[in-house]
Structure 1
Amino acid sequence: MQTLKRVTGVMFPVILFSLLALCLLSLSRLLLTIWQADHITGWQDWLMILAQGVRIDISTLCWLLILPSLLLALMPVTGVLGRCWLFVFRIWLVAGLWVLVYMELATPTFITEYNLRPNRLFIEYLVYPKEVFSMLWVGYKAELALGLLGTLLTLVLGWKLSGYAVRDLTAPKWYWRPVLALAVVALGVMGARSTFQHRPLNPAMVAFSTDPLLNDLTLNSAYSVIFAAKNMASEKNAEEFYGQMPLEEIIQTVRQASGREAEFISDEIPTLNTISPTFSGKKNLVILLQESLGARFVGGLGGLPLTPNLDQLMQEGWNFTQVYATGTRSVRGIEAMTTGFTPTPSRAVVKLSKSQTGFYTIADLLARQGYHTQFIYGGESHFDNMKSFFLGNGFEVIVDLPDFVNPKFVGSWGASDQDLYTMADLQFTKLHQSGQPFFSLVFTSSNHSPYEFPDGEIELYEQPEHTRNNAVKYSDKALGEFFAKAKQSDYWKDTVFIVIADHDARAEGNVPVPVDRFHIPALILGSDIQPRQDDRLASNIDMAPTLLSLIGADNTSPMIGHDLTKPLAPEFQRAMMQFDKNFGYLTRDKLVVLQPGKAPMGYQYDFDSRQLSVTEVSELESKRALAHALLGGKLYREGRYKLPDASEHQLANAD
């Protein structure tokens, strides 16, 4: 060590901490890869993950240390000024090391939940410390303890090591200092960029597999989160990921793909179209949005035997067997169900700045037609910016946890599903008595980590008690109790209900878009809804137009979803899925996947075996997928996904 210190001189602390960080990051990557070894297909995967991982780590360390290294080359290391500078320098080193270590310690838990390294979801959850800390305290005490222990060890040992590293440093002669500074900057920039190409190193450059987790293992978690933060700050649009297409061509392609090109009526709002309702009259609408209820947990869809109540209800209503979510987060499900908006690689519109007012929602549409509109949630409605988005776009009333009186059970995410449905029944009864039609979005939360629910309510499916499968079973019981009560209510005969998931619990797989992990239940119920099993391929963006048709609402809106009360030929059936940075466009015979900086990929999807096999993709199929991938971002940025004002509406109808 003394020899290294003598040879490296004033740069010894930087080199020492860099070598230590490289060893720790490589060890973490190796252990994570061993843990996820079932994703590995051959020795080439090991080589790419470990070798390219070092490249990512070097780039990370160069970004972290280039500024203090430059100052170290120029600043004195003796005297009062030198001691003050070295104290600040030590803080920088130790803090940087702690961030790297802590993020790696947090990674296994994040992979368990999301099958990816910490990314933008990690940042988004940090905005809600109360809910997140409550969740961690209840369900992840061991992980919290490990993080605290790792933090203490890193800070204590790192501080001691930094003291040794800066002790008795020998600065070069003054005339060598500018040379050393230039060398530090040159090497630092080269290491940070890690390439002579136009663009610096980024995750796409080291991506090598169709399995997203393997590509993520190549990164380190600090790099992954910082890269996500950079993207969030710039809100990159889909063109930067998938390529360019003029808006006119996008609109033409999307209209043609809808199978109802003649129904589009506006140039200012390019997707504005009118769908005549099937039902003549006016009914209430209730969306029961189920947290993380993928089809694999639903017995009636071939999943685990966890949902006997939902399975029975599927025999009583209009059951869709091939509906697919647009994303992997609740805000994406809310986006699809309330706005019919196509998914994008950006954040869901619930959280985007330009969509907080004047953005289309079915709540706004129905409020204009005399409906009372509300959102009912057992937790804090400010989570994920829901409250702001809803109140700015047509929802008149928010009912959340502070409005619940003596709830039976409150967990990390708020009141239990039973409490939620009790509140919903009270609201529906009161609204029905007022004589005003109503639209209500009811969002469950019990099926969310750490899976808390009242003791003694169900016969546990497995041990320990607080698991996802047990939470699904509890949530299903609460749903069954609600419908047993609703069928006896006065509002039942005048209301259309849909039970649908926001997304599956955990999207994972060894392909860029794991289609089977987007499969969700969707069931429409009501006194006039006849039992049927519907095997048409559909998306949750198709549900809003269908529901508006069933309640007799006038539907002139920018939604491109299909009204499934009407016939839909197989060639126009489709689903769109956003999986991190990848976009999937699924039809009856093909899945087209768009990935950043890569050519479109084609897969055959077997709906029975739920397996994908690589196939060719035509230029027309690629164009159709690209148009739908770019549509949402274009309309959002230009403020053209909205309802027309009265004069625009009259003009459109006149045309």
Structure 2
Amino acid sequence: MNFSATAPLNNTSTYSVGFAIKKLTRLLGPVGIILHFYVYALVLLSISRLALIVWQAERTLAEDSWPQILLNGLRIDISVLSYLFIIPVLVTCIALFFNSNKETLRIFIKIWLITAVTALVFFEAITPTFILEYDLRPNRLFIEYLIYPKEVCAMLFTGYKVEIISCLIIIALAIKFLTKLFNTHWQASTNLPRKYKAALAIVLILMCALGARGTLQHRPINPAMMAFSTDHLVNELTLNSLYSTLFALKQMQLEMSSADFYGDMPFEEALAQVQQASNLAPEQYLNKEVPTQAFHQASYKGKPKNIVILLQESLGARYVGALGGLPLSPSLDKLMTEGWNLTNLYATGTRSVRGIEAITTGFLPTTSRSVVKLGKSQNNFFTIADFLQKQNYHTQFIYGGESHFDNMKSFFLGNGFADIVDHPKFNKIAFEGSWGASDEDLYIQAHQEFTQLAHNDQPFFSLVFTSSNHTPYEFPDGKIDLYDKDKNTRNNAAKYADYALGAFFEKAKKSNYWENTIFLIVADHDSRVAGAELVPIQNFHIPAVFIGEGIEAKKDIRLTSQIDLAPTLLSLAGISGDHPMLGHDLTQEIPDNKLRALMQYDKNFAYITNTNKVFLQPDKEALVIGKNTLPEDEKKSLITRVKAHAILGSKLYQNQAYK
């Protein structure tokens, strides 16, 4: 009796749900089919990611990372689908509002949706094979292979017959299923009144836009924002393969070689020129795979020391009293008298990522974006963190904001930084601005980290990156006597940043890590760079000082570049070994004719020496400005050396030969 009583209820319930779905579909009309495809695509991508997680369980379950992979992956998938479907949503909304030709709309929507979802299916289908080969999702390598269709087709048909057949079957089944899905659920018209059509259109477009952006933070969703592991494959699994390929394509468009602007030079010639300009003999470069690699002997012979880099946001020499700038830096001025003060140092660029590139990798600046943001350098690219990690150092990045900004998190995790301590991990934040924790909070967290690390026998390396001296220049009240009347100005922010730096060193000098640590205080770049010059060199002048127990207090007036800092740090800390950095170890005697500074300013490149300034511009002859007119052969030789420095970085990057 019970069974007969409940059966009609179940049938009624099923009928009601089915009726509601059909009614909603009729109400939404052609928009309904887009929502159907959106949901099915989202389920497809989630199932594919879950299967990859299970397949790679040894890595994905090692640190219970699978929930984070699924959550981050869902955000990426929503973003991708919002991008893919925003065009048909726009077209459909316009067609509904103006009662356009329904058959034309049907054909357009059908082709678009089936093609888009089939592309997702294709890229997910080839992913396992790609992972087996490269330990990555499809990326720039997939695109680069398309340049050689003959060779690639021969390779595929020879070694991957099963995979090709399987992929073709999956695609055929997908097209058949998607076509049936479309034909079943397509509704050519909607019962909505005209005023509701407009509201529906606005809501759908806003949802697509927000879904595509993926976040309300400063930057749209990106791979760096989703990265959380030092295992690159774990981070890759949070993406989907269509996204990873399209993102790689976008990045490749920003990788024009310096040779495209200044004229090409054979790799061997460029390499020889740069090697000769270094402070090592050419025969010391023995590794053909990594041609700039050589053995570097540290000057300090004692027990290896901890290394801390305090990277100062936008602190050009113009804000440093000791360098002839405004009286905004009493703390740094004092520290400069206590340490090894470089008074003639120049940044390599005008962006934070360019400064990070120079200071952590020692890489030559190029016309493309910094390697922090480029595709080929996200793994197996040399950084001092990776070098020190292999020397048994604990490696760390501390930042008061979101570390995914400017792709820092992804680059660092892929290249030797084992520990990322950013805004969400801070123990306490007393003042939070647009860019995150104030410099004081940053240094308090850093002091806590260093104190804890000093209890271990393992030495540590930490990069600490400030942000208070950045527009909109927010900092806590009552900390400094304002230099400008209005509080939130560049000058006041620089003065507050200096105050926070001084407060940190007061504690650091009394700490358990002080006597075993080498500190480098250095700016990433100057603030606003402007001027009529090809490269406004005066705006590249920045402060830097090495300080710590055993560091001799002195003023060093030698001409130096940001790329010289990392080799010098390693030497001061007692770390010898093979590395590819071309900067000078400033603890050594450097001949005057080898002292130089390199600067990239948009597409212009400057190379300055004690006697000359050489400027390279796109598609123009080099400009040489010197104290004396050079003989033609010397001028030509100098231009060749400068050109080699300008283009070698691009060639090393493209050949993946800086590792």
TM-score bracket for the superposition, by shorter chain length: 0.5 to 0.7
Report 1:105-116 matches (<5 A). none
2:292 is the alignment partner of 1:271: yes
Say yes or no: does 1:635 pair with 2:656.
Answer: no
Q: 1:623 aligns with which of 623, 637, 640?
A: 640
Compute the displacement of 1:259 (Å): 3.4
Kindly provide the CA deviation profile for residues 292-350 of structure 1, in whole angstroms up to 9, marking residues without a partner as x: 00001100000000000000111000000001000000000000010000000101000
Distance of aligned partners of 1:234 and 1:425 in 2 relative to their CA distance in 1, 3 Å threshold: closer
Match of 2:459 in 1: 437
SS for the counterpart of 2:441 is helix
Q: 1:277 to 1:234 in 2, by over 3 A?
A: closer
Q: What is the alpha-carbon distance in structure 2 between the residues aligned to residue 615 and residue 323 of structure 1?
A: 29
Residue 505 (structure 1) aligned with residue 522 (structure 2): no
CA distance in 1, matches of 2:577, 2:263: 33
Q: What does 1:542-553 correspond to in 2, within 5 Å?
A: 542-553=564-575
Tell me the amino acid that sits aligned with residue 291 of structure 2: P
Output aligned runs, 1:437-456, within 5 Å: 437-456=459-478
Quote the offset at 1:499 in angstroms: 0.2
Cα-to-partner distance string for 1:163-221 (whole Å, 9 max, x where unaligned): xxxxxxxxxxxxxxxxxxxxxxxxxxxxxxxxxxxxxxxxxxxxxxxxxxxxxxxxxxx
Aligned mates of 1:432, 1:572 — CA distance in 2: 38
Task: Kindly state the Cα deviation for residue 506 of structure 1 after the two structures are TM-superposed.
Answer: 1.3
In structure 2, which of residues 422, 436, 439 is the aligned counterpart of residue 400 of structure 1? 422
The Cα shift of 1:267 comes to 1.9
User: Which of the residues 516, 535, 546 maps onto 2:538?
Assistant: 516
Q: Provide runs of 4+ in structure 1 moved above 6 Å.
A: 78-82, 229-232, 613-617
Instruction: Give the CA deviation at 1:380.
Output: 0.2
Match of residue 150 from structure 1: none
Which whole-Å deviations, capped at 9, do the CAs of 1:336-371 have from their partners, x for residues lacking one? Answer: 010000000101000000100000000000000100
Q: Which residue among 131, 144, 147 is the counterpart of 2:218?
A: 131
**Aligned with residue 329 of structure 1, among 351, 355, 374:** 351
Aligned 8 A contact 1:336 1:540 in 2:
yes
How do residues 456-475 of structure 1 correspond to structure 2 at under 5 angstroms? Answer: 456-475=478-497
User: Match for residue 254 of structure 1?
Assistant: 274
Match of 1:496 in 2: 518
Query: Equivalent residue of 2:363, what SS?
Result: coil
| Alpha-carbon distance in 2 for matches of 1:373, 1:327 | 25
1:620 maps to amino acid:
S
| Cα distance change on mapping 1:328 and 1:527 into 2, 3 Å | same
User: Residues 272 and 559 of structure 1 are in contact (CA less than 8 Å); yes or no, is this contact kept in structure 2?
Assistant: yes
Q: Which runs of 5+ in 2 are unaligned?
A: 1-97, 106-212, 221-248
Q: In structure 2, what is the equivalent of residue 241 of structure 1?
A: 261
Q: Please tell me whether residue 300 in structure 1 is matched to residue 387 in structure 2.
A: no
1:605 and 1:431, CA in 2 relative to 1: closer, same or farther beyond 3 A? Answer: farther
* Structure with greater Cα Rg: 2
Aligned positions of 1:292-441 closer than 5 A = 292-441=314-463
* SS of 2:480 mapped into structure 1: coil
Cα distance in 2 between the residues matched to 1:434 and 1:80 = 72
Cα distance, 1:274 vs. partner?
1.4
- Cα RMSD (Å): 2.5
Shift of 1:512: 0.7
**Shift of residue 536 of structure 1?**
0.5
Deviation at 1:263?
2.8
Q: In structure 1, what residue type is equivalent to 2:651? A: K
Which residue number in structure 2 is paired with residue 171 of structure 1?
none
Letter of the 1:245 counterpart: M
Contact 2:344 2:558 in 1 (8 A): yes
CA shift digits 1:571-592 (9 cap, x unpaired): 0001110000111111111111
Cα-to-partner distance string for 1:120-143 (whole Å, 9 max, x where unaligned): xxxxxx99861369xxxxxxxxxx
> How far 1:249 moved relative to its partner?
0.2
Shift of the alpha carbon at 1:543? 0.4
Alignment-derived partner of residue 588 in structure 1: 610
Q: How many angstroms apart in 2 are the aligned matches of 1:383 and 1:615?
A: 48
Distance in 1 separating the partners of 2:631 and 2:505: 45
* CA 378–80 in structure 1, closer or farther in 2 if over 3 Å, else same: closer
Q: 1:532 aligns with which of 532, 554, 558?
A: 554
CA deviation map 1:60-106 (0-9, x unaligned):
xxxxxxxxxxxxxxxxxx99669x99xxxxxxxxxxxxxxxxxxxxx
Confirm or deny: 8 A CA contact 1:128 1:383 kept in the other structure.
no
Structure 1: distance between partners of 2:537 and 2:280: 26
Distance (whole Å) between structure 1 residues aligned to residue 398 and residue 491 of structure 2: 24
Residues 596/578 of structure 1: CA separation in 2 closer, same or farther (3 Å cut): same
**CA distances 1:568-617 after superposition (whole Å, capped 9, x unpaired):** 111000111000011111111111111111110112489xxxxxx99998
1:278 & 1:468 partners in 2: Cα distance? 39
